[in-house]
Amino acid sequence: MAALGAGALPALAFPEPSLWWWAYVALVPWLLLVRTAPTARRAAMEGWCGGIGFVVAVHHWLIPSLHVFIVVVAALLGLLWAPWGVLVRSRLGGAPPAARALRAVAVIPSGWLVIELVRSWEALGGPWGLLGASQWEVPPALRLASVGGVWLVSLLVVAVNTAVVVLIAVPPARTPALAALAGGALAVSAVWLWAPRPAELSRARIAVVQPGVIEGADRRFAREAELTRALAGRGADLVVWGESSVGADLRERPDLAERLAALSRTAGAELLVNVDARRTDAAGGGGIFKSSVLVGPRGPTGARYDKMRLVPFGEYIPARNLLGWATSVGRAAGEDRLRGDRPVLMEVPDGFRFGPLVCFESAFPDMSRHLVREGARLLVVQSATSSFQGSWAPEQHASLAALRAAETGRSVVHATLTGVSAVHGPDGGRIGRPLGTDRSAAAVFDVPLAVGTTPYVRFGDWPVYGALALLGAVAAGALVRRRAASAS
């Protein structure tokens, strides 16, 4: 039951925007179950089982790639929810006093946020499927994200779930719980009115080239070239191809570099392509990189960004000596990709500076925040997700652009090989029509270029620090009470 209650949220919230409200009650059955656990050990077990259900539901589209290994991953990550189960029981178990139940509305969400922080570590899968991301089409939630990032939205979602549990299961605290819900609604309204809005300074015409599902690097390149030629005369300032759109190092294939330069001249704009290929350094070493490369009318401009954060198992295997067997049961990486060592800003001549990100990196709030602090006026994400057609992965991934846009106050272009490609403005709202997974097309979007600094860009992950401080205060208080009881 715990696993079902946790799994219901991501399974419904991401692909169906009309079901965004479900997030605010989806955890209620799980919380009600855990609070009635007869022992702390049982609460930990129910927290673990619910965590397994949550992980599988959010990442179920990985099953064709990982097969049975998804069970191992879910069981390991699910352990993060075991102490949270104990926390829920300690705050809401039995017949808690009204004051303790009311404090739970802040303490339990803080515990959840720590789980999200830990599992956001790249080696544990990164911040994919954070609870707050389920609210990517809700304007008030996006305004909250501009203040405290996706973390603040996650806090709100779990706090509402906790308050509903208090209303159901703790009669003496119903009035304070209602007051807390009303106070939360007022706080969101205040944020809506107070939070600074990005100021549009100018606009740019960004073209997205989506070739669709095409096998073979040469055939895909030919389709991308055909779509790019069709952009001639449409006034694009930048043309964006998806991840792995070029299958050879341009320094070793000058013929490809010249073809791209000719396409740039035809389209009348720089091309941002993504090279997925082996690269050799001056010493004769090297390896496979995924690199965003800017190409102009005269060829590669020299602006290149090497992907820094790689997909576990998809692009490298953590502790390969120990877990390398995963390649025998799924489509795990046979060879580890190499990482870049720094973010890069690129510039369109006589235009604007933009920050490239590659695929998985759009899930990390800190990366887009850093690029904006360095001066990016636009964020560009190059992705593929072609391995997961027919699943919810393309929609889940594209939705992250809305969160990153709202957090940073900068438009985000999410360009893919096979869909979903989408563009979101500085407030997180969608611009134009997305290119779905059934389309092979090139589209030009009129994209606002905003200025100004959101509170999240300025102050960073302050909700996480607040949650850690609150849990530290709770732990310290419990320790003081225990020592006082022992002394007496």
Q: Is the dihedral of CA 105, 106, 112, 116 positive or negative?
A: positive
**What percent of the chain is modeled with pLDDT above 70?**
90
Average pLDDT over residues 32-45: 96
Domains, the chain, in order of start with CATH, read 2-196 (no CATH), 199-308+343-453 (3.60.110.10)
DSSP string, 192-217: HHHSPPPEEEEEEEEEEEE--S--SH
Q: 400 pLDDT exceeds 90?
A: yes
Q: Is residue 72 very low, low, confident or very high in pLDDT (cuts 50, 70, 90)?
A: confident
Q: Render pLDDT for 166-179 as a digit per residue (tens, 0 to 9).
A: 999 988 888 888 88
Q: What is the dihedral of CA 91, 93, 98, 104, to 10 degrees?
A: 30
Cβ(228)–Cβ(442) under 8 Å?
yes
pLDDT of residue 39: 96
Q: Which residue has the higher pLDDT, 485 or 154?
A: 154
Q: Which helix (H) or strand (E) holds 412?
A: strand 411-416
Q: Judging by DSSP bridges, how do beta strands 411-416 and 378-383 pair with one another? A: parallel
Q: Judging by DSSP bridges, how do beta strands 378-383 and 353-358 pair with one another? A: parallel
Q: Is residue 14 very low, low, confident or very high in pLDDT (cuts 50, 70, 90)?
A: very low
Average pLDDT, the chain: 88
pLDDT of residue 444: 97
Q: Render pLDDT for 403-441 as a digit per residue (tens, 0 to 9).
A: 999 999 999 999 999 979 999 999 999 999 999 988 899
pLDDT of residue 387: 73
Measured distance CA(436)–CA(394) in Å, rounded:
9
Q: Judging by DSSP bridges, how do beta strands 346-347 and 286-296 pair with one another? A: unpaired
